[in-house]
Amino acid sequence: MNQFKDDYNNRGCLVGSCSFNCLAKYKISRRSIKLLKEIKNLKTEHDAFKEKIEAQPPRAVRKIPTSSTIVGKMIKFNLEKVRGYLADDNVSMAGIWSMGGVGKTTLLNEINNSLLGGDINMGFKYVISLVVSKEPLFGKLQKEISERLRLPFGSKKSDIFEFLKNKDFLILLDDMWKAVDLPETLGIPLPHHQSQSWEDKGQRYKHKVIFTTRQDDVCACMKADKHIKVECLDGEEAWHLFKQHSNEEIINSNACIKKLAREVMERCSGLPLTLKVIGGAMLNKKKPEEWHHILRSLVNLDAKTIIGIEESLFNTLKLSYDNLADDTLQQCFLCCAQWLEDKEMFVFNLIEYWIGIGLIDDFRNIGEAFDKGYDLIGNLNAACLVELESRSDYDYVKLHDVIYDMALWIVSECGKKKNKWITCTNNGDDLSQSIEWEAGTWKEVERIFFGMNWRSVTILLNYLNIDEKDLISVTPTSPRYPNLKILFIVPLDSILQRCYNSFLNIFPHMPSLIYLNLSSAPISDLSKEFEF
């Protein structure tokens, strides 16, 4: 253009702004027409190129970076199971559920990453992975979907719906706590068989949703075609994962450390989250004494000795507890931690206990009360906080070891008051240690559960200063257990018969007692101090 300007100014024979040099003007005109045509052609090619680039769809699958390695046959089996559902036209929605920390997110990420690359994405035009969380921000999630689909800025859920309704897509939703109306909250079209407006005509598109949750109830409310429960790892698989996150070289360097490491691993009960957290805590522990210390800490639930365990483990698991429907259900769950660890709780006894302490009330007859109890247990089982099992003659519940520890941690106000509830086994050394540790602070005890043999009884009676004449040395004006509300004393052998009179003498020193369980105790009468 500068050259044109110079040529135009130098064309000669000027009269004012006019020139009589027709040949120069002709040449300039011809060149300008040619140049203008070239500019138009370039502009047309540029616009076509730009349109082609803008119309290019995003990659079907984006890889999710993960530091977790798939460990165990079950998780690999579940991965193949889900991929089978993705290829099955009769399965549009699947829910992956389990307690916190088992590896649901790892499995979901592996599902996403397994679809990377050309013909292995099973024909999905879009695979979108989202983290929903306990308190979902649907506006933020809509924005993520819009950006993933390259929709214009400010697109609404209706725009997402219109874009996706005639596309093959897979939506991966992690960490769902409640059922979500997908079209209403995120603009995601429902799978065809769930859509009331869908007419079974024309082309059928693949609309699939896979989500993770801690509750099987969410799978039911979402009308998932398949429910997949993720289980904990078995012994060797757990050992392999534990070594991955600790220091295998240190473990193998010393036979004593290797034995202790096995015991520490077993305390993790196959829960991947626990194995990773505890394994990481032992990454640089090179002395057997350090492994002894961590093992004792796990056994005694002295969580503060393990750096970060409260935040990374129990707080994570506690989310399932916090999400329970109401305080009654939370208290019912915590009651399960009063039983001895790894012991089966008969459903009948557990519900009877809930009735006795007033967690189940407002019923017309005992049948209604037990119906309510079974409903509560069903809710806890669906939340993966208890495991409900049935045998031919009875039903019982159990707690996963880590869930049991987490429940005691909650009861102790996150480790601040370890002596609020005291649960002792029939091991005399156990009881002796508990008494020694808590001797100065037992006035804070609110619940006691003793499963006792003769040795345990002897230790307890000695601590209570009961003499041979069944007399206690504490005056009634100074009760030893002023805040004790609930007392279980479960005899484990027949020799206890001669001790129960001694126990009866201590009850007047428990002014706050509201619930007493002396199951199977050989008692013919109760002390006069008891008022009904």
pLDDT tens-digit map of 210-267: 999 988 999 999 999 999 999 888 888 999 999 988 889 999 999 999 999 999 898 8
Strand, helix or coil for residue 354 = helix
Flag whether pLDDT at 478 surpasses 80: no
Flag whether pLDDT at 104 surpasses 80: yes
Flag whether pLDDT at 494 surpasses 90: no
**Tell me, what DSSP letter sits at residue 135?**
S
Query: Which residue type occupies 213?
Result: T
CB 107 within 8 A of CB 79: yes
E strands, 295-358, where?
A: 345-346
Task: Give residue 252's pLDDT.
Answer: 92
Q: Out of 48-57, 252-261, 354-363, which region has the weakest mean confidence (pLDDT)?
A: 48-57
Cα 110 from Cα 65, distance rounded (Å)? 10
pTM for this predicted structure: 0.66
pLDDT tens-digit map of 153-183: 888 999 999 999 889 999 999 999 999 999 9
Decide the pairing of beta strands 226-229 and 126-131. unpaired
For residue 515, the cross-strand partners are 486
Task: Give residue 298's pLDDT.
Answer: 78
What phi and psi, each to the nearest 5 degrees, are found at residue 522? -80, 70
Flag whether pLDDT at 14 surpasses 60: no
Q: What is the mean pLDDT of the chain?
A: 77
Cα 431 from Cα 428, distance rounded (Å)? 5
Matching residue, tokens 């032992």:
282
